[in-house]
Amino acid sequence: MPTSPRTPEPLLQRSFYAHHLARMRHRLTARALSSLPEPESWLDVGTGYGHFPQAAKRFFPYTSFDGVDPTDRVERALAEERVEEAYRGRLSDVAPRLRARYDVVSLFGPPADPAELHCALTVLRPGGHLVLGGTWTPADVEIPSCAILPGVLRIPYLHHHRLVARKAAG
């Protein structure tokens, strides 16, 4: 007699745990980054609903957080005041008008397009910090104008890491 396939985990339960794991990852990342000087402005690339900026405001209360995302979720992030400015589209679409505007740019998603990293450097001020998610490697950011800061930022319990790079001043 054939056995029945394993019953999949209910969608609600799966999304509940994924949501809380993501919230914990955002808080731990923001806390770990709090050793940086408080920036004036921060752009979160692929911000979605703006959950990372919301978590980071606890550690950077005077920072202006903006978000860019190709979906309409960024507009909801703006409506719920998780970001102060919302840009719908890809970073490459908005980078020319945001040249050297941000002290910090965070890219937590996978490195889908190498041009995305160059666009991030375009909107980053000299001396600013680039925060990259765990799918990025130091080889991905070997750019003459950018230096990886010593040590990889590890997030305890979640087995995630973040790379932090500083754009050369001047």
Across residues 102-130, what is the average pLDDT?
Answer: 85
Q: Tens digit of pLDDT for each residue in 34-48?
A: 888 899 999 999 999
CA dihedral 129, 155, 52, 66 (to 10 degrees): 0
Provide the pLDDT for residue 116: 83
Of residues 3 and 88, more confidence is placed in: 88
Residue 118 within a domain:
yes
Provide the pLDDT for residue 13: 52
Provide the pLDDT for residue 131: 86
Provide the pLDDT for residue 132: 82
Question: Among positive and negative, which fits the CA dihedral 102, 103, 107, 108?
Answer: negative
Cβ atoms within 10 A of the Cβ of 107, count? 25
Compute CA 75 distance to the chain's CA centroid, rounded to the nearest angstrom.
17
Tally of structural domains, the chain: 1
The CA–CA distances, whole Å, from 52 to 1, 24, 84, 169 equal 50, 10, 13, 27
pTM of the predicted protein model? 0.81
- The overall average pLDDT reported for the chain is 80
CA-based angle 35:167:128, to the nearest 5? Answer: 45
Tell whether the model's pLDDT for residue 4 goes beyond 90. no
- pLDDT over 70, % of the chain: 72
Tell whether the model's pLDDT for residue 160 goes beyond 60. no
CA-based angle 151:165:91, to the nearest 5? Answer: 140
Residue 36 within a domain:
yes
Of residues 110 and 87, more confidence is placed in: 87
Contact present, 55 and 24 (Cβ < 8 Å): no
CATH number of the structural domain spanning residue 65: 3.40.50.150
Residue 75 within a domain:
yes
Residue 4 within a domain:
no
Range of the domain at 63: 11-167
Residue 102 within a domain:
yes
Residue 22 within a domain:
yes
